[in-house]
Amino acid sequence: MTADQNIRAEFRSTLGNFTLDTSFEAPIRGVTAIFGPSGCGKTVVLRCIAGLIRVKDGYFNIGGEIWQDRGQVFIPTHRRPLGYVFQEASLFPHLSVRRNLLFGAPHEHAADTPTIDFDEVVDLLRIRALLDRSPRNLSGGERQRVGIGRALLAQPKLLLMDEPLSALDRKTKGEILPFIEKLRDHFSLPIFYVTHDMTELERLTDHIVLLERGHVVASAALSELQSDPSSTLATSREAAVTLKGRVEASDPKFGVANVSIPGGMLITPPPPLPTDAIGEPRRIRILASDVSLARERPSRSSILNVLPARVVAMKPLDHYETLVVVKLGEDGEGARLLSRMTQKSWAELGLAEGQRVYAQVKYVSLGPGRGEPEE
Amino acid sequence: METLQHLWPPVRLTLELATISTMTLLMLATPLAWWLARSKRSWKEVIATIVSLPLVLPPTVLGFYILIALGPDGPGGAIANLWGARTLAFTFQGLVIGCIVSALPAVVQPIRNGFAAIGDRPLEAAATLRASPWKAFWRVALPLASPGLLSGAVLGFANIVGNFGVVLMIGGNIPNRTRVMSTAIFDYVETMQWREANILAGGMVVFAFVVILSMILIQKRFAGAGA
């Protein structure tokens, strides 16, 4: 990875009794989550990237384009080709939805024609019916969709999203998440996404920058960090792995589908997938608490997914529980799964690193596909 | 009814004075209020205090200093020299300057509050949407602060119409040149012209009522439609 194909960020500062000391690299494609507990400095980092906060010891380089280089270069916010989605949509209350959307859009006679088209955004976010209304009369979810559209229409080269769902209630959150998934898949635009929510992390992101008290603890691919027993992601109660799967076949009789993942094939539960879903890439999520291990292949079981694997690591979580990392496939050449079990199970099965096992997966959740209507 | 003709010049002069001064005030007070609302400098409150002084000073004190400043030995005299006059005191231009100084706090304060009420967020949003500070000011800050601007304009206009002390000190109450409604009423009472005094005073009461009512309505309308 050379610097020109990456995003490189460094921000160091002392703000009151809070010390920010961050340095990380992220890929220039896909969604990078800036993840961590409240007060760890996630939003500060995002605001530094946008130039809304200016720290003296700061550096930001996106694909060779330098936005800040310590004291020598500092491009002001309004000259940075970015889009910013705030926690609360922050629409301009004195302008209609349409004029909000067009506020940052280049003029029609501008030299370079926009690559993100007005009608495309309006249809993708389903806001056509709102265009002539005032933002004052919109619901929270509608407002946030307009906020996202407004940021996109400014033709950003980098989209920054600061906990865009956290001000919304659970139901509305569930409605907006698919829109963000759609825009991730639809526009080839790098997105930095600040969140402390596990669901958003697993559904949206490819890369994580893990922050704790102003410091970068890790910066890695999501699947890598999820299955790294030294990371807090893997040891948390709701630890899970997210895998890239591909729909291979669907069984209309039972409503299940076959989805291939690196090192194995999974049967996913109903509802049945439409036939045109075959061949589609899908995200698969498997919780550590839904995976159990067996030394021999169970002959008769209600569990459909039994996959050969090898133990690659174990980590005691406390006196009684253990986290086990396995790699799928006879020789452990496939994807990593997590399994959470009692110390007693680990001891009685006589498990050890390198050992061949069968991973029994009780539940598999399947992410939405392209253009699939959200529920 | 022709006998009331002589009431018109002070009314017309008052309206002219208030209109010209208010428009000038808006141009001066808006950038000043913007700076007071946005600047992070610690000494800005010193400037804010100086601007607010006319609220507290007796009009005679204010009028006295303005008179000296406008007189032949002050900066006002130097300006008057440009067109061959000796002084700005006891002139309409002098009245405009005096009214601007004494009404400045009444105009700056609501506009400053209007800018402060917007907060940083809309301006940050504008910056992330490629708006230069100049564009953000005109297209976001000014429209969002319009209730403050409107309040400032109404209060400034009313302050000037109701000005008596400063106007008397620096205008000298010269008929057709510097005699405005408030000083005219004083004259009519002194000369026992009760009917004229009554008409002008009654008109001022109605005017004050309209001003206060419109202020309340402006605030109500915008408070209900907050961001």
Q: Which CATH number do you get for residue A143?
A: 3.40.50.300
Chain A residues lying within 8 Å of B222, measured CB to CB = none
The pTM score is: 0.85
What is the second-level CATH architecture of the domain B2-226? Orthogonal Bundle (1.10)
Q: For chain A, list residues with pLDDT below 70.
A: 1-4, 108-114, 370-375
Decide if B40 touches A, using CB distance below 8 A.
no
Give the separation between CA A249 and CA A279, rounded to whole angstroms: 8
Do the chains contact at B144 and A79, CB–CB below 8 Å? no
Q: For chain B, list residues with pLDDT below 50.
A: 1, 226-227
- Domain assignment of residue A72, yes or no: yes
Q: Which two tokens stand for residue A126?
A: 């389903």
- Domain assignment of residue A262, yes or no: no
Among B122, B131, B143, whose Cβ lies nearest the Cβ of A78? B131
Examine the domain organization and report whether A146 and A288 are in the same domain.
Answer: no
Provide ipTM, 2 decimals.
0.83
Picking from B40, B129, B139, B146 by the largest number of A CB atoms within 10 A of its own CB, the best residue to mutate is: B129
How far does A121 lie from chain B, in Å, by closest CA?
Answer: 16
- Domain assignment of residue A371, yes or no: no
CA nearest neighbour of A229 among A320, A325, A293, A318: A325
- Domain assignment of residue A266, yes or no: no
Decide if A103 touches B, using CB distance below 8 A.
yes
DSSP label of A273? P
Among B127, B144, B227, whose Cβ lies nearest the Cβ of A78? B127
Examine the domain organization and report whether A164 and A294 are in the same domain.
Answer: no
Examine the domain organization and report whether A82 and A204 are in the same domain.
Answer: yes
pLDDT of amino acid B203: 92
pLDDT of amino acid B174: 84
Cα–Cα–Cα angle for B185, B187, B191, rounded to 5 degrees: 115
Examine the domain organization and report whether A99 and A188 are in the same domain.
Answer: yes
Examine the domain organization and report whether A155 and A299 are in the same domain.
Answer: no
Give the separation between CA B80 and CA B69, rounded to whole angstroms: 12
How far does B24 lie from chain A, in Å, by closest CA?
Answer: 26
H-helix or E-strand spanning residue A267? strand A264-268
- Domain assignment of residue A269, yes or no: no
pLDDT of amino acid A15: 80
pLDDT of amino acid B35: 96
The residue whose two tokens read 């002001």 is A76
Examine the domain organization and report whether A313 and A180 are in the same domain.
Answer: no
pLDDT of amino acid A366: 87
Distance of CA A320 to the CA centre of its chain: 31
- Domain assignment of residue A254, yes or no: no
pLDDT of amino acid A373: 41
Q: What are phi and psi of B19, to 5 degrees?
A: -70, -50
Examine the domain organization and report whether A15 and A124 are in the same domain.
Answer: yes
pLDDT digits 0-9 by tens, B52-107: 999 999 999 999 999 999 988 888 888 888 888 888 888 898 899 999 999 999 99
Decide if A78 touches B, using CB distance below 8 A.
yes
Into how many domains does chain A fold?
A: 2
Per the structure, the complete domain to which residue A334 belongs is given by: 240-245+283-366
How far does B221 lie from chain A, in Å, by closest CA?
Answer: 13
Give the separation between CA A84 and CA A104, rounded to whole angstroms: 11
Examine the domain organization and report whether A211 and A325 are in the same domain.
Answer: no
- Domain assignment of residue A21, yes or no: yes
CA nearest neighbour of A90 among A163, A197, A184: A163
Pairing verdict, β A6-15 and A73-74: unpaired
pLDDT of amino acid A113: 64
- Domain assignment of residue A310, yes or no: yes
In sequence order, the β-bridge partners of residue A281 are A246
Q: Which CATH number do you get for residue A338?
A: 2.40.50.100
Domain ranges of chain B: 2-226
